[in-house]
A and B are shown apart, each in its own frame.
Chain A
């Protein structure tokens, strides 16, 4: 019986051997309990890695990522790029914001353009799609992932209330802490987080963790009041809504 070398054993564990080579290893392992135990440990490690990462395949893909791959013919605009991974190299990854150049976007109402232009060029939190503003970048990510029940004082975006609007869509209020501070309401739609209202927020609202509805700018409060029927989500409902992809 030839001893099995480590490279062969590793390939065996990783399922990279052909049938004949695998049979040889099986035969050798039957004769060598110590080696067989080692193989079992390596197989358990592989299984543990798969168990840890395979569930990612079943998670809903964040809308801001799928939106980047929409055909340009159906989306009036490409999403504005993230200002760098955690902002570390903003300039390198910046692409031209096509919506500023596109005829349909320019034809959008002055009010919508104003919303777009409000946002500082470096923040990249809004993209225009078919003339409507949608959340992008860190804002889209915060809306997708952040829980008001687990606030992060250092996050660039704070989430306030989450609730199911009268029309069935889930809406969330948010405050952008990084200047220029903004507060607004986002409502989940098939193409991402639509932004029916965005208002300048006072530094106090932006800088603190106060998230009571009464702290929201009046226009945002009014937009909430117009949509809210029933109660706002509690922590458990918020978590469940996230798990369901905000649908």
Chain B
């Protein structure tokens, strides 16, 4: 099978997880699906770089993380990635549960640094092990766990004790 066909076929069942990761990174529904589209374009363009003996999910998650970082850089500081209120509204709009708490969580996540937000997305939302996240981010495991600890402290401070 041609590598791009194998990647196409393999990515289809990964779309829900890819959308969840994108949502955790980008926040807003529309931004997250734009990110997924960019990720799919890149993945298909680079299909020959995927080694069939390596996990496709980690490969495409790394593309997603890098695409998200590229987008943050492209937007720079002039525009916040999104307005936390709007992000919360979208999250709440989509799940339909406890809008105020969803809004609060979206705003807290938006306040994290990119370093912290990506470990939260990869480990706490997607469920990667520390080792997997470290390999994907190309940093030592200790860096993953210390960023995660700082992210938790920040989230708890923003959310209060009733997390």
Chain A residues within CB distance 8 Å of chain B: 6-7, 10-11, 14, 16, 41-42, 44-46, 48-50, 52-59, 61-62, 64-66, 68-72, 81-82, 84-86, 88-89, 93, 95, 141, 145
B129 touches A16 (CB 8 A): yes
9 tightest A-B CB contacts, nearest first: A45-B163, A56-B20, A85-B34, A57-B16, A44-B163, A69-B12, A61-B15, A53-B125, A69-B8
B35 touches A85 (CB 8 A): yes
A69 touches B11 (CB 8 A): yes
A selection of 14 A-B contacts at a CB cut-off of 8 Å is: A41-B161, A45-B156, A48-B105, A48-B159, A52-B91, A56-B16, A56-B19, A56-B20, A59-B19, A59-B94, A61-B16, A66-B15, A69-B12, A145-B29
B37 touches A41 (CB 8 A): no
B12 touches A52 (CB 8 A): no
How far in angstroms is the closest Cβ of chain A from B71? Answer: 6
A52 touches B152 (CB 8 A): no
A82 touches B71 (CB 8 A): no
Chain B residues within CB distance 8 Å of chain A: 5, 8-9, 11-12, 15-17, 19-20, 23-24, 29-31, 33-38, 40-42, 44-45, 67, 71, 74-75, 91, 94-95, 97, 101-102, 105-106, 120, 123-125, 129-130, 145, 148-149, 152, 155-156, 159, 161-163
